[in-house]
Amino acid sequence: MGIKTISYNISFRDILYPRLEFKTGKLLLVLPRGSEPDEIVKKHKKWIAEKMDFIEECRKAALNKDTVKRTAKEFHDLVHNYQKNYAIELKENLNRVFFRSMSTKWASCSPKRNLTINKKMRFLPEYLIDYIILHEITHLKHKRHNAEFWKIISSRFENCKELEKELFSYWFKLSEE
């Protein structure tokens, strides 16, 4: 894919170092004020091309994904069951669980120990809901995706990299319907 065909948004901020993000499949350049976007894109051309290929692969895989039909109550019960079990297992206390529409994440866990669940998760297979809940509660122990974090995740889900890719495909499935 040629670099001239890459579309992106730019956010200039009071930061020292530029970063490139692919949230929901769209490239965002977060740049220090006064930076030249074209230079950053050119410098990271290979990385951008690899990410764009990955996104295209996930978009194609999304076409073959089946969604699950479950009621809101069934979904809420499922989430509460997993969060209680993982909170006990990891010896972490959660404050509250919220269900909201979220535009860039499946879920999040706040410093106030609140778990926020994206309503779109309702249509995911149960094993992916299980994975997401463990992922978020593990953030209570390890804020970043460091080695200790992934050790906890992979102790239950050895195929966590494949699950992350599958979640990305489902994101496109549920966002583009």
117 shares a domain with 44: no
* Per-10-residue mean pLDDT, the chain, length 177: 68 93 85 90 91 92 95 98 96 95 94 96 98 97 94 95 95 85
The structural domain count of the chain equals: 2
Domain that holds residue 24: 3-62
pTM, rounded to two decimals: 0.85
Spatial distance between the Cα atoms of 116 and 134, rounded to a whole number of angstroms: 13
Query: What's the full length of the chain, in residues?
Result: 177
Task: Classify residue 43: in a domain, yes or no.
Answer: yes
Task: Classify residue 171: in a domain, yes or no.
Answer: yes
Q: Which among 19, 40, 17 has a CA at the least distance from the CA of 30?
A: 19
Task: Classify residue 67: in a domain, yes or no.
Answer: no
Residue 126: Cβ-neighbour burial (10 angstroms; 0-12, 13-18, 19+)? exposed
Which residues is 28 bridged to in the sheet? Answer: 9, 21
What pLDDT, on the 0 to 100 scale, is given for residue 176?
73
Task: Classify residue 85: in a domain, yes or no.
Answer: yes
